[in-house]
Amino acid sequence: MTITQLPVPVNPSALPAPSGYSHGTLAGNTLYLGGQTALDADLRIVPGGIVAQFRQAFGNLLTVLAEAGGIPADLVSITIYLTDIPDYQAHGKEIGRVWRELAGPVYPAMAGIGTTALWQPEAMIEILGAAVIPADRLVTPPR
């Protein structure tokens, strides 16, 4: 596999088609994962509170990662933007179980940041990150 240094957009067909952004950008073997909220395939934020929104947003991020050949162990950094930090903290054990279910016991460098609002008014969480994917698994999408 030849690794290109030119940035390549990564937009899985399983996620809503982006307009004016990319779900991810691959540069070399580093994948920059754009912010994912809890949007479902119908472009609606999933109901059910912070745990359900974490599951959807993190699942969306992992979908982008997989599109480039990555696995959760390739994640090197995650930033979580939250509109209600105390709510996230109150559900930390449940969120931790969802993390381990989706990603296993791998925890990259992480930050949680409080914010007053996200792009979709009903979104409570947005997750972005970065991953370094080994060349033997790297999938470079067509331009």
Mean pLDDT of the chain: 95
Residue 142 has pLDDT above 90, yes or no: no
Cα 59 to Cα 39: distance, rounded to the nearest angstrom = 10
Torsion of CA 106, 97, 24, 47, to 10 degrees: -170
- Average pLDDT, stretch 29-34? 97
Question: Which pLDDT does position 26 carry in this prediction?
Answer: 97
DSSP conformation class of 68: T
Percent helix, strand and coil across the chain, each to the nearest 5: 25, 25, 45
Instruction: Assign 125 to helix, strand or coil.
Output: strand
